[in-house]
Chains A and B, each alone.
Chain A
Amino acid sequence: MGASDRHISIPERKKNGQPFSPGPAKPMGSPESPKISLVSTAQKAPAWGRSLFNPDSIFKGLMLVAALAVLAVVGLTLSELLQRSVLAWQKFGFHFFATSAWDPVAGEFGALPFIFGTIVSSILALLIAVPLAVAVAVFVTEMCPKPLRKPISFATELLAAIPSVIYGLWAMFILVPLLRIHVAPMLTKYLSWTGVFSGPMYGYSMLAAGTVMAIMIVPIISSITREVLAVVPQHQREAALALGATRWEMIRIGVLKNARAGIIGAIILGLGRALGETIAVTLVIGNTPQIAKSLFAPGYTMASVIANEFNEATDSLYVSALIEIGLVLFIVTVIVNILAQLLVWTATRGAPARANV
């Protein structure tokens, strides 16, 4: 019985909804309603019929082509990188990622120093950037006086808009000397026991690369953290305050705890940016393929070796090795980004539903 009821109700609802539903407006143009003369275009609709050539289908098809272009670009990226790195893959296999010899003249290529450099500089960047970015986000959304809110968010937005090459230029001439003359002696004096701040500091170093990267990823982490904090239900804050919490306790218990998945997502998104950061890093990291314990030592990252050496690479094995590094960079950033998207997505999509309860 119930089943048949449902059977009847569905077509009815469809019929009622039809004038508002997208697609060729059939009932309007049909002969039963000749009084409506405004709809001359719709009256033509039956003539076009349901053929593939009615304007709506053509339009939808064109838009579909544009949407498919997005898929095609990613597909092309993968196929280009795979196809052009085959030579290095055949020669070295997995060995490529485990050796640290980088000698283009002898035809020996190992990506380990670059993988090491990328990971270390990115982690260093995160260590510096995360406290800054989360502090900015919390300060802007929860603490700061209203008139300051707009200028600070605009400032972080501008920070995101400055091109990489300008960060690089600034870092080369301002940050690197600053680190070498003022920061490095202090780090050596107080933190040399950690082992990572030892040896001579010539300026161009992993430390410089990590610092400039940190400045560059602060805006992305803080803007996404802000979005995530904004969707924390207001009643969480009110509940904490009603229990007598101070503002900081309210932020810690009511806000940060609720937003942590999203904040982690934001951090991972920042990591994705840091991994692929090229120009600024190339200008300050020193471009030396080595695995050094000290952050004062120069290094090399996957992105910067491509930027620095691709135009000089003459023989096909060299080019192929660099493209294979590009392929690894592509795959790693895609994985990192997907992870981050999922975290941010669960944080921002899940929350409003809970807020309505």
Chain B
Amino acid sequence: MSSKYLQFRRRVTDYFATFVAALLSAVVVGTLLAIFAYLIVKGAGSVNWAFLTHTPKPVGEIGGGMANAIVGSTLILGMGSLMGIPFGIGAGIYLAEYGRNRFGAVIRFTADVLNGVPSIVIGLVAYGLVVFTEGHFSAFAGAVALAIMMIPMVARTTEQMLLLVPQAVREAAFGLGIPQWRTTISITLATARAGILTGIMLAFARIAGETAPLMFTALGNQFWSFSANQPIAAVPLQIYTYALSPYDDWHRQAWAGALVLVALIVGTISLVRFIFARSTLREAR
């Protein structure tokens, strides 16, 4: 009797636990769907040609767009990537090829720590390093902040991808008498390039949406600016400003900007998945 009851209770507990886990997972996935649904519902109607080609209208006037912010984001991200990616890849190469020792462990640990530093603190540092020294806000300062965020992310994925390259490949190259630097560039890096590209694009997707590091560096701008030494608009900053504003038309544009930004980021990630899936397929063949 009692053992039968125990059996029953255990079975019920098992079902219950599975149900709870499934339910909570559904909540998480449901939240994601809710966010996307609202983005599309509220944003899709406002993403139009004017939004993509016009600058913001003065307060109170309906219309205008985020063209300058889209260009500004592109410039900041471009400059940031140009500064961050080479350092990231270099550090990754060092960690994978020369860093199998205590010094390498220190660098690795520091990179992980840097990865966890809040982006707002990075913004403060870029402010101190660039804005304070130069005496004015600038696109360059924003790019420095984003580059700092990019370095540890790119470094760690580059390292992981290089370590996936079999040691035998390197040995084969050494066996042909190819010097180590040449082996690393032409053989190891080339073999791991799909994975490294993935890491770079994921890091790019992550910094593309960053607002906090740009607040005291790029500052934002309601007008066109193409100079690295001027305050410049960026899409995330513009969304933030518009979200805080009391105007319905700006709220509408904030949703539109959010949709554009998410489309860019999700697009990047999907592309990465596509590339990665194809490259692993090729390797498997």
A interface list, Cβ under 8 A from B: 19-25, 28-29, 36, 38-39, 41-43, 45, 55-56, 58-60, 62-71, 73-74, 76-77, 80-81, 83-84, 131-133, 135-136, 138-140, 143-144, 151-152, 155-159, 161-170, 172-174, 215, 218, 222, 246-249, 251, 269, 272-273, 275-279, 283, 303, 306-307, 310-311, 323, 326, 329-330, 333-334, 336-338, 340-341
Contact = CB atoms under 8 A, between A and B. Distances in A.
Nearest to B107: A67
Contact of B35 (A68, A71, A162, A323): A162
Given A41-B179, A326-B120, A246 B10 contact: yes
Contact of A41 (B114, B155, B177): B177
B212 A66 contact: no
A162 B132 CA distance: 31
Interface in B1-31: 10-11, 13-14, 16-18, 20-25, 27-29, 31
Given A63-B98, A71-B107, A139-B24, A41 B182 contact: yes
A67 B99 contact: yes
Given A161-B205, A165-B209, A246 B14 contact: yes
Nearest to B31: A215
Nearest to B152: A70
B117 A248 contact: no
25 contacts: A22-B170, A28-B177, A36-B177, A39-B176, A42-B178, A60-B98, A62-B90, A65-B90, A74-B113, A76-B125, A77-B117, A136-B28, A143-B21, A155-B29, A161-B206, A163-B211, A166-B258, A215-B31, A218-B28, A269-B116, A278-B118, A311-B215, A329-B121, A336-B116, A337-B112
Interface in B156-189: 170-171, 174-182, 184-185
A307 B89 CA distance: 31
Contact of B209 (A74, A166, A218, A247): A166
Interface string B97-109: 1110000101101
Contact of B120 (A22, A59, A307): A307
B45 interface: no
Contacts of A71: 106-107, 110
A64 B265 CA distance: 32
A158 B113 contact: no
Contact of A45 (B179, B205, B239): B179
Contacts of B175: 19-20
A-B pairs, top 10 by smallest CB distance, nearest first, are A163-B209, A276-B118, A66-B90, A39-B177, A42-B177, A59-B181, A135-B24, A337-B116, A67-B94, A63-B94
A65 B90 CA distance: 8
A155 B27 CA distance: 12
Contacts of A247: 14, 18
Interface in B104-154: 104, 106-107, 109-114, 116-122, 124-125, 127-129, 132, 148, 151-152
A166 B39 contact: yes
Nearest to B34: A174
Nearest to B84: A69
Given A45-B179, A161-B265, A70 B114 contact: yes
Nearest to B269: A161
Interface of B: 10-11, 13-14, 16-18, 20-25, 27-29, 31-32, 34-35, 38-39, 42, 86-91, 93-95, 97-99, 104, 106-107, 109-114, 116-122, 124-125, 127-129, 132, 148, 151-152, 155, 170-171, 174-182, 184-185, 205-206, 208-212, 215-216, 219, 236, 239-240, 243-244, 251, 254-255, 258, 261-262, 265-266, 269
A9 to B, nearest CB: 22
Given A76-B125, A169-B255, A25 B179 contact: yes
Contacts of B251: 173
Contacts of B178: 25, 39, 41-42
Given A80-B124, A279-B211, 9 more contacts: A80-B129, A143-B21, A152-B29, A163-B262, A163-B265, A169-B255, A248-B16, A276-B120, A279-B240
Nearest to B86: A66
B108 to A, nearest CB: 9
B25 A22 contact: no
A303 B17 CA distance: 37
